[in-house]
Amino acid sequence: MFLSRRATQAEYFDAERPLAELQQFYQALASINALFLVSEPFQRYIPRLLGQENVRQLSLLDLGAGDGSLGHSLTNWAARRGWAWRVVNVDLNVSALGLSGSRLNVAASVVALPFQDRSFDVVIASQMTHHLNEVDVPRHLSEAWRVARRAIVISDLHRNAALYCGLWILFLVTRFPHSFRTDALLSVKRGWRISELGELARNAGLSGARTSLYFGSRVVLQARKS
Ligand SMILES: C[S@@+](CC[C@H](N)C(=O)[O-])C[C@H]1O[C@@H](n2cnc3c(N)ncnc32)[C@H](O)[C@@H]1O
């Protein structure tokens, strides 16, 4: 059946690309992220997991941050509530981090984080887990858990036909670069389903992690330390 098996083919932007192409990619991703309210699961679940009164001052680590736009939007969102959130971006792609305008950037792989245990209050990741395979997802989750003091929240595309068709139609009526459209559709094909991510979390030793479907388009994993 369509999308029953996860694709493993590499995306165009998995390889190093010229800066101009990368800039174009992140401009396009910003529009899609705004349309699909990509920051929303973090805005909803972080205060819910920790309690509103415990999120006034938070250090966050964003894994696979790309151009750091999630950190930027969460910091601004928190500031509007009078909260001080500070986000450190991690990505393998130094050129992407260079687009962030932030000084809080660390070039590293999410499967081997250069931080001590419990270094950040909350560890987050958005649209990154589908880039990893079955061996690396548990390594990524256990590293995220290790460096988190209080909680982790991971959100990614859910592999399903409705999301794939929705994006396909959107790309039919809008103008996005060809490489972006191809990667976005392939990202859905590479997405993890709820049960798959749940099993990978158990393989990582995160028996208390909860995975759920978020408005039909995303799989969200959340876990809190006691
Ligand atoms: C689709 S982008 C998502 C960017 C951003 N999180 C967002 O939601 O807008 C995926 C990012 O994950 C990064 N990435 C993929 N594998 C990685 C790894 N093993 N370690 C660190 N970053 C990785 C890529 O370089 C890319 O910047």
> Cα–Cα–Cα angle for 133, 65, 58, nearest 5°?
115
The burial class, CB within 10 Å (0-12 / 13-18 / 19+), for 155 is buried
Q: What is the mean pLDDT of the chain?
A: 96
> Which letter, b or e, does each residue of 107-125 get, where b requires 16 or more Cβ atoms within 10 Å of its Cβ?
eebbbebebeeebbbbbbb
- Res 69: pLDDT: 96
- Res 190: pLDDT: 97
> What's the CA gap between 72 and 152, in Å, rounded?
18
> Taking residues 114-138, what's their average pLDDT?
98
Q: How confident is the model at residue 2 (pLDDT cuts 50, 70, 90)?
A: confident
- Res 162: pLDDT: 95
Q: Is 39 in the pocket of ligand 1 (CB under 6 A)?
A: no
Q: Which candidate, 124, 97, 126, places its Cα nearest to that of 33?
A: 126
Q: Which two tokens stand for residue 20?
A: 């101009």
Residue nearest to atom 27 of ligand 1 (CA): 66
CA of 53 relative to ligand 1 center, distance in Å: 31
- Res 226: pLDDT: 82
> What domains sit in the chain, N to C, each tagged with a CATH number?
12-224 (3.40.50.150)
Residue nearest to atom 14 of ligand 1 (CA): 64
Percent of the chain with pLDDT over 90: 98
DSSP state of 67: T
Q: Is 123 in the pocket of ligand 1 (CB under 6 A)?
A: no
pLDDT at 1 over 80: no
CA of 117 relative to ligand 1 center, distance in Å: 22
> What's the CA gap between 67 and 30, in Å, rounded?
10
The pLDDT tens digits for 22-66 are: 999 999 999 999 999 999 999 999 999 999 999 999 999 999 999
Which atom of ligand 1 is the closest one to the Cα of 111? 19
Residue nearest to atom 12 of ligand 1 (CA): 64
Q: How confident is the model at residue 182 (pLDDT cuts 50, 70, 90)?
A: very high
Residue 101's CB is within 10 A of a number of other CB atoms, namely 10
Candidates 35, 39, 62, 131: which one to mutate for ligand 1, based on the most atoms within 8 Å of Cβ? 131
Q: CA 41 from chain center: how many Å?
A: 10
Note the pTM of the prediction, 2 decimals: 0.97
pLDDT at 96 over 80: yes
Q: DSSP letter string over 40-51?
A: HHHHHHHHHHH-
Percent of the chain with pLDDT over 70: 100
